[in-house]
Amino acid sequence: MSLLQFSGLFVVWLLCTLFIATLTWFEFRRVRFNFNVFFSLLFCSPFSSASR
């Protein structure tokens, strides 16, 4: 994988992660806790651990 391909993939990953985190944050501020917030965080956890 070239540096350009990796950079493009990283930008897409970063945008998706920020989008999901923003939606989760606004949902958390609106209702404090429910299972939508829990499953959104659960969905993000494999992606953060896969990058290590």
**Residues 4-49 pLDDT 10s:** 999 999 999 999 889 988 887 887 777 776 777 777 777 767 665 5
In this predicted structure, what is the pLDDT of residue 50?
Answer: 54
**Residues 35-44 pLDDT 10s:** 777 777 777 6
Residue ranges per domain, the chain?
3-50
In this predicted structure, what is the pLDDT of residue 9?
Answer: 94
Count of residues in the chain: 52
In this predicted structure, what is the pLDDT of residue 2?
Answer: 93
Provide the whole-model pTM.
Answer: 0.57
CA distance 2 to 4: 5
CA distance 1 to 48: 20
